[in-house]
Copies of this chain bind each other. A is one copy, B any other.
Amino acid sequence: MAKNKRDIDLKVKQDELESTASRLFLSLGYDGTSMNRIARELGVAPNTLYWYYASKDELLVGVLNRQMSQTLVRLPTIVDKPLKEKMAWALREFEQSRELVATVHARLEQSEVIREWHDQFHRFVEAAVIHTLQADGVARERAAMLATVGTFLVEGLLAHPHSESQREAILQWFTESALPA
């Protein structure tokens, strides 16, 4: 990828578009941000965006990948911390994207490209969590089930407002119920 000047320029331009789209999606929400608005912010005609992305959903996927790659940069900082810390970190990472997480789930049925991104994202996260649990001595099959549960808890906490002590209690209970004594 990015073999020549052309591809590099393309990436640079896409990065610019996604940076602006990201900021607007996060502050106004996906539905609250029109393609028109994004284009205006960038100083281009609205249909220019369609030269880079086939649809608004594809632009969202670009934005999601952008966020993910930023999160991946910070991943090494918690890779050898205990499970509970890892979950708390994931919550903090995705907290600003709360609304986008909900948008992704709402658009699953309607958008193939969103569905693909979502499925791939879950496969990645579950594999990582399974790996962690196995390192802590949890059997393979059980680790897979617990990874799903852990994911649901993080998503639930993201979707619903809660106090710091609620979060703490849930993570504490989950990790001590999940891990061997």
- Residues of A that sit less than 8 Å from B by CB: 29, 31-32, 99, 102-103, 105-106, 108-110, 122, 145-146, 148-149, 151-153, 155-157, 159-160, 162, 166, 169-170, 173-174, 177
CB distance from A106 to the nearest CB of B (A): 4
- Complexed CA–CA distance, A103 and B109 (Å): 11
A24 to chain B, nearest CB (A): 14
- Residues of chain B lying within 8 A (CB to CB) of residue A152: 152-153, 155-157, 160
Could you tell me if B153 and A170 are in contact, using CB atoms closer than 8 angstroms?
no
Bound CA–CA A153/B177 (angstroms): 15
13 contacts between A and B (CB under 8 A): A31-B106, A32-B110, A99-B106, A102-B105, A102-B106, A105-B105, A145-B173, A148-B162, A148-B166, A149-B156, A152-B152, A155-B155, A156-B156
A102-B105, A103-B106, A149-B170 given. 11 additional CB < 8 A pairs? A31-B110, A99-B106, A106-B106, A145-B169, A145-B170, A145-B173, A148-B162, A148-B166, A152-B156, A152-B157, A156-B156
- How far, in angstroms, from A17 to B110 measured CA to CA in the complex? 24
When distances are taken between beta carbons in the complex, the residues of chain B under 8 Å from A99 are 106, 109
Closest to A174 in B: B149
B109 touches A159 (CB 8 A): no
| A108, A149, A173 interface centre (most CB from chain B within 10 Å) | A149
